[in-house]
Amino acid sequence: MKIIWSPQARDDFFGIYRYIAVDNPGVARALHDRIASRVLSLLKTPQIGRAGRVAGTRELVIAGTSYIDTLSCSRRSPANSSRLSYRPAVAGVF
């Protein structure tokens, strides 16, 4: 299996890093590492995550954060990280 970051997902990923790094570079680096590690875990367990809201996608929740990586994937093609989205926590929903 191979993971391909779409240009938009790559922009999302580095945009998040740059935004947080302005105030706290250490937290930005830790978040960068957490997201990268979680996405790379797809190489060992490609079916982790949940069914996406859009047909043909899966959503990989980045534990301990408010981010979700939306993946388009099929058995014959590599996982394509199409968006990295910020999803604010909703009170009482975990």
Any idea what the CATH number is for the domain that residue 81 is in?
Answer: 3.30.2310.20
Classify strands 57-62 and 50-51 as parallel, antiparallel or unpaired: antiparallel
CA of 91: how far to CAs of 33, 61, 62, in Å? Answer: 26, 17, 18
At residue 42, the pLDDT reads 79
Label residue 78 by pLDDT band (50, 70, 90).
Answer: low
What was the pLDDT predicted at 75? Answer: 55
**Structure-model confidence comparison of residues 91 and 76, the more confident one:** 76
Domain that holds residue 33: 3-86
pTM: 0.72
Q: Is the pLDDT of residue 46 over 50?
A: yes
Kindly state whether residue 94 falls inside one of the protein's structural domains.
no
